Amino acid sequence: MITVNKIIPQVVEHFDPSGKSLGLLNEYESTDLRCQIAESNVNGYYLMFNNQKIEILPNGKIDNWVSGLYDLNENLIAKLFKSQQLI
């Protein structure tokens, strides 16, 4: 039987260079923030995930990506591909 699973997007707290919280951002909001950081070429922004401070570089990259961070869509796509025997 097919059911609709209600999925709540992961949110992670992000901070500006002064340590002020920008709030709990979902994956899309986080990506938008990273785009703005890259466009402005500013540093000091970061997020906290599993008690780890993760720096967002001035080019918007996250060098030390942590397993479990915003990976729901990636995992669902992998599951779909596996079901389609594409991987």
Tell me 19's DSSP state. S
pLDDT band at 85 (very low <50, low <70, confident <90, very high): confident
Write the burial class of residue 45 (CB in 10 Å: 0-12 exposed, 13-18 middle, 19+ buried). Answer: buried
- Torsion (CA) 21, 51, 61, 36 in degrees, nearest 10: -10
How much is the average pLDDT of 43-65? 96
Answer whether residue 86 shows pLDDT above 80: no
- The closest of 38, 15, 14, 39 to 26, measured between CA atoms, is 14
Segment 46-56, tens digit of pLDDT = 999 999 999 99
State the pTM of this model.
0.86
- What does the alpha-carbon distance between residue 87 and residue 80 come to, in Å, rounded to a whole number? 10
